[in-house]
Structure 1
Amino acid sequence: MLFDKTGTLTSGHFRVIRHQPLGDGGHSEAVLLSIAAALERHHPHPLARAFDAYPDDPALADAEVLHQGARGRRLGVLWRIGPDPFDDAGNAATRGATRLLLYENEQPRLRLWLSDEPRPEAAAVTRALGAQGWRLRLASGDGEGAVATLADTLGLDDWRARQTPEQKKAWLERLAAEEGPQMMVGDGINDAPALLAASVSVATADASALARKAAGLYLLKPGLAPLAALPALARRVRRGIRQNLTWALAYNLTAVPLAGAGLVPPWAAALGMSASSLLVTVNASRIARWQSSSS
């Protein structure tokens, strides 16, 4: 099972926990933060919402959303915000945080640390899935520090950081070729290629419209708890399908020859077929009342 990170295993509600001016650009921290906020204002990624509390810089214009970050011009100067390529462990207060850099003409001017907490139920869900024998992996566009910390916290088997949507898909396809069918769990636009490529794909309840369309199924309520019940639910559905096929085969092997030989009157054959169809329908509908301790 391959997980996305932000908004899937984590809440997706980022906040700026630290910022540090860099270089000698002559700008105050307040101005730098307002430039960052203006750049991120219309970016769809949950990271950008961490800047909603800061005022926009009115001088920034032509903001453009990039695959990772954003850029725009302020008084003729190019500004860009994106992932910090110099990802390290940091101190205890910022370990596991996502790091961004704000650039002025490609010169770093502000480093930012953003925090995003794991979903409250994430640890219990991953433990339950691990106990069932699932291999659990994590693919994220975030830096190594944040991804490694979350994978360690949740006890995941493997992880990849700084993954583009195409790289997520490629990793999933490679795993499928080596191990067999793979499940993908995600929520964002950048998860859509991997969701489409997976044998089974699940979108969270608060997933983007594109992720929902790409996924084979999506959760109706917030939270990951139903994931731990999906394997048992799948087994129950398969058992019901086999029961219905067995009954239908046995009924037809018995009733059709008798009807063809004229040993069963037409009205009895019609009643028998209706009763058989009703039995299959009732048996299938039992799945709607299925419950699990994990659901």
Structure 2
Amino acid sequence: MPGQPAQHQSHQPGSEAEMTPRPDYTPFYPGSGRLEGKVAIITGGDSGIGRAVSVLFAREGAKLVIVYKEETEDAEKTRALIEAEGSEALLIAGDVGDRDFCESVGRRARQQFGRIDILVNNAAEQHVRDDLAAMETEEMRQVFETNIFGYMYMIQAVIDHLEARARIINTASIVAYRGNPQLVDYAMTKGAIVALTRSLAARYAEKGILVNMVAPGPIWTPLIPASFPPDKVKSFGTDTPLGRAGQPNEVAPAYLMLACEDGRYMTGQAIHVDGGEYPSS
């Protein structure tokens, strides 16, 4: 099966508006009110998986707080999509690697909507490291600040305001389980997210707060052309058993299951949406 056209973006986490073709974020089915009255914070919610989850949550009745770094065009498009579903969105731009910023997100979410029911930690960055010995400490630190410190900062910002039946959903990755020779520091952070999720699930189970994760495989998001050279983008996902990269709207239903009552007997778990890549033979 064909891959994507060769392309590259020179900035992280990338822009959905610049991709060819655009990722598919449209939900598959009409909503059924599974998140009616809920408020969800989604980091990296402006594009890719985050956009697809945001639109699906809105269709199911949730109000959204969309956290993004600086991709205002993508964020405004996501707001319009949420409003088209009959819901509301608060857009907040900033760096999740900054603890003060994350605290402000929690505070503004409560001021705007009066409650927080769901936190989806999804913002991420990744970089191809061809020469591991040459990787600078600051480069590695930046990936950890975004991918794992940012998760922890957001959890700290909301945890005291979550009630029983609240949900925390973290975005892990197939690379946490299989590794990746060129994305070593990224894989390290995703492994840490697995440990974080399982630890928090055990810690907060008695309070009725459920903590799970989704572990995507190759999904067509802005992070792909922003990370890999054009030839790798062209073949991205074609080596999976299903022969193609996944679309964001093929991942979003896993987040919905974990966010709504369908997932009320799950905590500390991972849902793998990866075209059959994991486990490897």
TM-score interval for Structure 1 and Structure 2 normalised by the shorter chain: 0.3 to 0.5
TM-score normalised over the length of structure 1: 0.36
Q: Which has the higher contact order (CA 8 A, sep 6+)?
A: 2
Higher Cα radius of gyration: 1
Q: Which has the higher strand share?
A: 1
